[in-house]
DNA sequence: GCCGTTTTCGGCCCGACTGTTTTCAGTCG
């Protein structure tokens, strides 16, 4: 049984829930929540590291006790404390905590009345028997009933690109900015946080709740409000005066863990930091800009994508923040399809679209024959496309089309096309598309074997995950990254919003190990080229700089690296 | 449960909104 970091994180969160229900020391609860977050974001595989007898690195906020519990969970899949806690409550109790409006105090009150599951809660609410419980009223009872019904359809997080379709027009309508995880370019967002500067907050709030797509107003006060859109996406608005804009933007951008750490730095200097500014006593000393907030605690500006409390404050203190890669740094795109296989536009249309977007080169990388569904290319068809690309390059200026392939890595680690044709290409992007369920050791071995092919240049979508749909295949990413380093292979950061694969943590791993990352669109149409922006966002979350990105190189230098 | 250029004990981020209250607890972000 393989225990993943996500499993350890989940169990830590469950312990935190149960400790809260027992009204334990809130700081002890916080320690478990923090540990869940740190473990969940860690790229190093804890169970595997321990299994190999290697030491765990010191993790922030995880001391001897929590490390012991990590070891226990890694070895057995659970831990004694959790088992003890679970015995004190009915099995479904933590589910109740996920309902809006239900926190530990109320769930404890429910438990005292022998309500320990969603089903039971719904039954009692329907019978009108919740309102008799202290702290519950008629309104709460109704909200719980609605929430319980909605919960069954399982609230999902929106992919970043989907959220953008709601967020951008709403922000424009409000005349405000978008903060929260959207601004931090997280791959999915649970809600949208808008910030508006105005001295007339009532008007701004009114405009917010009157937006045409609003289905329901959850809360409406004098400085903040929450709504749910028809799409199911929750949106929150805060209105602040102009002079507070920086402090408010910082506060509502998060992450929560980052904010807490910044406020602690403030406290050490005798400063209080809230969404209205940085305060020394009653005097506001900063807050008009985000820069002023950071400066108040002695730090340079930190980019939103870095604000996850995963070392950015320490780096800022040392003056060692990365100069993050930007969209305009990209000189080309190294993964795209055309009509020849499953793309929708012709070779020429794709080349012109890339040129129109300011790119210097575009690699055309069709599927290989194994992917029959996409009419993958066999050696003869690929040879014809190579000729076609050469003719097109002779006819076009301002854009160079590179000859490539997205060749399948077969079950045994060989490639789907012979070297006799691969050697004629500028680059070979290789990818796993089948046998996703192989056991970790075999999957890893298969990919490592493929990387021995001398023409292998880029590993496409290295984890194979589809956001909200399919988990990553089980693979030893560190072994793959290290092999890539030895073989001079780059890893792709597939920018498609469904993939964003590599993850942010894997980008950092690649950077730390000295492996270049190719930010590629995997475009199947000319519009697909625009997805590069999400790849850049993910790369920035992974601390990547221009120098870490293969396709931030000019064509000449790229050719040198490819050869 | 963690942590320490004040500390191995005693701290641990901060404010708004709602509903159920008669002045505030609970929840949320």
Closest residue by Cα to residue A456 from A493, A420, A495, A484: A484
| A5-152 fold | DNA polymerase; domain 1 (1.10.150)
Would you say the C-beta of A99 is within 7 Å of strand B?
Answer: yes
A48-84 burial by CB neighbour count: b if 16+ within 10 A, else e? bbbeeeeeeeebeebeeebeebbbbbbeeebbebbee
**CA A301 → C1' B24, Å?**
39
> Do A78 and A55 contact (CB within 8 A), yes or no?
no
**CA A237 → C1' B17, Å?**
13
**CA A309 → C1' B13, Å?**
14
Q: Exposed, middle or buried, A160 (CB in 10 Å: 0-12/13-18/19+)?
A: buried
- The C-alpha atoms of residue A460 and residue A407 are separated, in whole angstroms, by 9
| A158-240 fold | Beta Polymerase; domain 2 (3.30.460)
**Nearest nucleotide to A30, CA against C1' atoms:** B1
Residue A354's φ and ψ, nearest 5 degrees, are -65, -45
Would you say the C-beta of A28 is within 7 Å of strand B?
Answer: yes
> Do A361 and A402 contact (CB within 8 A), yes or no?
yes
Would you say the C-beta of A113 is within 7 Å of strand B?
Answer: no
**CA A478 → C1' B28, Å?**
38
**CA A259 → C1' B13, Å?**
8
Q: In chain A, which residues fall in CATH 3.30.460.10?
A: 158-240
Would you say the C-beta of A131 is within 7 Å of strand B?
Answer: yes
- pLDDT of A556: 96
Closest residue by Cα to residue A62 from A89, A83, A87, A44: A44
- The C-alpha atoms of residue A461 and residue A430 are separated, in whole angstroms, by 9
**CA A27 → C1' B20, Å?**
28
- The C-alpha atoms of residue A222 and residue A238 are separated, in whole angstroms, by 9
**CA A90 → C1' B10, Å?**
35
> Do A535 and A494 contact (CB within 8 A), yes or no?
yes
> Do A274 and A248 contact (CB within 8 A), yes or no?
no
Q: Mind listing the pLDDT tens digit for each residue in A7-17?
A: 898 899 899 99
Residues of chain A with pLDDT under 50: 153-154
Would you say the C-beta of A241 is within 7 Å of strand B?
Answer: no
Q: Which nucleotides of B are covered by protein (CB under 7 A)?
A: 1-3, 6, 11-21, 25-29
Would you say the C-beta of A424 is within 7 Å of strand B?
Answer: no
Would you say the C-beta of A61 is within 7 Å of strand B?
Answer: yes
Mention every residue, 6+ apart, whose C-beta is less than 8 A from residue A210. none
- pLDDT of A435: 84
**CA A175 → C1' B10, Å?**
46
Q: Mind listing the pLDDT tens digit for each residue in A62-85?
A: 989 999 999 999 999 999 999 999
B11 closest protein residue (CA to C1'): A27
Would you say the C-beta of A281 is within 7 Å of strand B?
Answer: no
Output DSSP code: residue A408: E
| A327-562 fold | TIM Barrel (3.20.20)
**CA A1 → C1' B2, Å?**
31
Q: In chain A, which residues fall in CATH 3.30.210.10?
A: 243-317
Would you say the C-beta of A133 is within 7 Å of strand B?
Answer: no
| A243-317 fold | Beta Polymerase; domain 3 (3.30.210)
- pLDDT of A220: 92
pTM here? 0.86
Residue A285's φ and ψ, nearest 5 degrees, are -110, -10
> Do A399 and A351 contact (CB within 8 A), yes or no?
yes
- pLDDT of A211: 94
**CA A147 → C1' B9, Å?**
44
Closest residue by Cα to residue A242 from A295, A278, A200: A200
Contacting residues 503-562/A vs strand B (CB within 7 A): none
- The C-alpha atoms of residue A41 and residue A418 are separated, in whole angstroms, by 39
**CA A70 → C1' B4, Å?**
24
> Do A151 and A119 contact (CB within 8 A), yes or no?
no
- The C-alpha atoms of residue A400 and residue A456 are separated, in whole angstroms, by 21
Would you say the C-beta of A319 is within 7 Å of strand B?
Answer: no
Residue A277's φ and ψ, nearest 5 degrees, are 150, -175
**Residue A492: half-sphere exposure toward Cβ, Cα within 13 Å:** 31
* Average pLDDT for chain A: 91
> Do A102 and A144 contact (CB within 8 A), yes or no?
yes
């Amino acid at each position: 049984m393989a225990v993943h970091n996500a499993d350890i994180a989940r169990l830590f969160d469950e312990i935190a829930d149960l400790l809260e229900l027992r009204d334990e020391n809130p700081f002890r609860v916080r320690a478990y929540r923090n540990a869940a977050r740190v473990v969940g974001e860690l790229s190093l595989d804890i169970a595997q590291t321990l299994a190999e007898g290697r030491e765990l690195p010191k993790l922030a906020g995880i001391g001897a006790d929590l490390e012991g519990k990590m070891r226990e969970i890694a070895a057995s899949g659970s831990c004694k404390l959790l088992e003890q806690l679970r015995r004190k409550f009915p099995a479904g109790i933590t589910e109740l905590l996920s309902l809006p409006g239900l926190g530990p105090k109320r769930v404890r009150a429910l438990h005292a009345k022998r309500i320990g599951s969603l089903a039971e809660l719904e039954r009692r609410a329907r019978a009108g028997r919740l309102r008799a419980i202290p702290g519950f009223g008629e309104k709460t009872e109704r909200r719980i009933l609605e929430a319980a019904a909605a919960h069954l359809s399982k609230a999902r997080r929106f992919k970043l690109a989907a959220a953008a379709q709601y967020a951008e027009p709403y922000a424009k309508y409000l005349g405000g900015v978008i903060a929260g995880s959207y601004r931090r370019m997280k791959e999915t967002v649970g809600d949208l946080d808008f910030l508006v500067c105005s001295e007339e907050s009532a008007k701004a709030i009114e405009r917010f709740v009157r937006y045409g797509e609003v289905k329901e107003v959850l809360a409406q006060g004098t400085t903040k409000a929450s709504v749910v859109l028809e799409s199911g996406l929750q949106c929150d608005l805060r209105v602040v005066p102009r002079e507070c804009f920086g402090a408010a933007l910082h506060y509502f951008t998060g992450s929560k863990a980052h904010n807490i750490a910044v406020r602690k730095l403030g406290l050490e200097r005798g400063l209080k930091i809230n969404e209205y500014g940085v305060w020394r006593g009653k005097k506001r000393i900063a807050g008009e800009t985000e820069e002023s907030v950071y400066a108040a605690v002695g730090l340079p500006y930190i980019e939103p994508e870095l604000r996850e409390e995963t070392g950015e404050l320490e780096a800022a203190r040392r003056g060692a923040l990365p100069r993050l890669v930007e969209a305009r740094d990209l000189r080309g795109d190294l993964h795209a399809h055309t009509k020849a296989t499953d793309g929708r536009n012709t070779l020429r249309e794709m080349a012109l679209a890339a040129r129109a977007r300011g790119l210097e080169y575009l690699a055309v990388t069709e599927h290989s024959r194994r992917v029959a569904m996409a009419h993958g290319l066999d050696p003869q068809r690929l040879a014809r496309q190579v000729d076609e690309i050469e003719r097109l390059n002779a006819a076009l200026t301002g854009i160079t089309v590179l000859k490539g392939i997205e060749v399948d890595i077969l079950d045994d680690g060989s490639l789907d096309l012979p070297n006799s044709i691969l050697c004629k290409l500028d680059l070979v992007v290789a990818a796993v598309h089948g046998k996703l369920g192989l056991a970790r050791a075999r999957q890893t071995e298969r990919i490592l074997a493929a990387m021995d092919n001398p023409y292998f240049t880029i590993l496409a979508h290295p984890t194979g995950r589809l956001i909200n749909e399919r988990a990553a295949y089980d693979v030893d990413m560190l072994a793959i990254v290290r092999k890539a380093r030895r073989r001079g292979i780059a890893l792709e950061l597939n920018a498609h919003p469904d993939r964003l694969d590599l993850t942010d943590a894997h980008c950092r791993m690649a950077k730390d190990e000295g492996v270049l990352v190719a930010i590629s669109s995997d475009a199947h149409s000319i519009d697909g080229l625009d997805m590069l922006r999400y790849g850049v966002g993910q790369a920035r979350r992974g601390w990547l700089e221009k120098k870490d990105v293969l396709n931030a190189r000019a064509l000449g230098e790229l050719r040198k690296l490819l050869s």
